[in-house]
Amino acid sequence: MDFSLILFIALVATGAITLWDRIARKSDQGIVDGTERKEPWLIEYSKAFFPVILVVFLLRSFIVEPFRIPSGSMLPNLHIGDFILVNKFSYGIRLPVINKKVIDTSAPERGDVMVFRFPHDPSINFIKRVIGLPGDKIEYKEKNLYLNGEQVKTEPMGEFDFQEVSQNKYVGKRYLETLDSNMHEIIVDPNKRTTKTSYAVPEGHYFVMGDNRDHSNDSRYWGFVPEKNIIGRAFFIWFSWDLEGSGDLAWERIGNSVN
């Protein structure tokens, strides 16, 4: 079950009990023969947890929501074990649980790191970089990205060693990619073959890719992200474990912004 739905159910339940207690129970019912009578545990816990659940629900629904990076598809910018914060109002105010937009703020831009519900299973959250906007023509050939007929600029930056958890190690080539005004690093694996592919982004949808281009399950394989599936824009790393190495805290990553 979706955590937002669980939180909403808990909020409604504790709120209803708290409200019932305030309306139905008279103030003198708590005193018997000059001594205070202990409230039933359900009422006591509901009154204690309701304000906490309310604050958490409002924060997660409308301001920021935490997520954990489970794979290396966004390397070298996001590592396995990174815990990030996602801005929930960057792309509009949405009603919690049903994820329906009620207020427009701004739309995703090329280069944004976006969190969204996987189109083929909305219970799973994905994080990728926005490459194509509605109406764009995307082409990917020989490990080069083309946007509306123009090759996206990249500059070589050396190599990058990486090993997925419980998988083989590989050495990728590192590049600095410039997408509109956004500059970010990407990795390509010279040992993995790619085929020429082209896409036309339909209205109301976005084309996304992982920065670890040859080790990412993205729009090249399962299609476009509908606007209704968008959750928000990733912007901050608030905690990190070095799961690819020592397993200790990755202090150097904590506090970094997501570029």
Tens digits of per-residue pLDDT, 166-210? 567 888 999 999 999 899 999 999 988 888 899 999 999 999 999
Q: Are residues 76 and 111 in the same domain?
A: yes
Q: Are residues 129 and 204 in the same domain?
A: yes
Residue 87 dihedral angles phi and psi, to the nearest 5° = -75, 115
Q: What is the mean pLDDT of residues 209-233?
A: 96
Catalytic residue among 46, 88, 90, 128: 128
Query: Is residue 54 predicted with pLDDT exceeding 70?
Result: yes
pLDDT of residue 243: 75
DSSP string for 24-73: HS-GGGGEETTEEPPPPHHHHHHHHHHHHHHHHHHHHHHTEEEEE--SST
> Which of 134-138, 153-157, 192-196 bottoms out in mean pLDDT, i.e. has the lowest?
192-196
Beta bridge partners of 237: 84
pLDDT of residue 26: 59
Q: Where in the sequence is the domain holding 21, given as residue range(s)?
A: 3-62
pLDDT of residue 168: 72
CATH of the domain at 138: 2.10.109.10
What's the chain's Rg over C-alpha atoms? 23
Q: Are residues 47 and 132 in the same domain?
A: no
Share of the chain above pLDDT 90, in %: 72
Q: Which two tokens stand for residue 204?
A: 């109301």
Could you tell me if residue 249 is inside a domain?
A: no
pLDDT of residue 4: 85
Mean pLDDT of the chain: 90
The number of distinct structural domains making up the chain is 2
> Which of 38-47, 79-88, 103-112 bottoms out in mean pLDDT, i.e. has the lowest?
38-47
Q: What is the mean pLDDT of residues 77-99?
A: 92
Residue 73 is among the residues annotated as catalytic for this protein = yes
Q: Are residues 55 and 74 in the same domain?
A: no
Crossing angle for the helix pair 41-62 and 3-24, to the nearest 10 degrees: 130
Catalytic residue among 73, 90, 216, 240: 73
Cβ(81)–Cβ(69) under 8 Å? yes
Q: Are residues 18 and 114 in the same domain?
A: no
Q: How confident is the model at residue 37 (pLDDT cuts 50, 70, 90)?
A: low
Residue 166 is among the residues annotated as catalytic for this protein = no
Q: What is the mean pLDDT of residues 104-108?
A: 92
Could you tell me if residue 253 is inside a domain?
A: no
Could you tell me if residue 25 is inside a domain?
A: yes
Could you tell me if residue 43 is inside a domain?
A: yes
Could you tell me if residue 41 is inside a domain?
A: yes
Given 15, 38, 62, the domain boundary residue is 62
Q: Are residues 120 and 17 in the same domain?
A: no
Q: What is the mean pLDDT of residues 206-228?
A: 96
Q: Are residues 55 and 88 in the same domain?
A: no
Could you tell me if residue 210 is inside a domain?
A: yes
Q: Are residues 151 and 229 in the same domain?
A: yes
Q: Are residues 188 and 90 in the same domain?
A: yes
Given 31, 62, 93, the domain boundary residue is 62
Q: Are residues 107 and 13 in the same domain?
A: no
Could you tell me if residue 153 is inside a domain?
A: yes
Q: Are residues 157 and 181 in the same domain?
A: yes
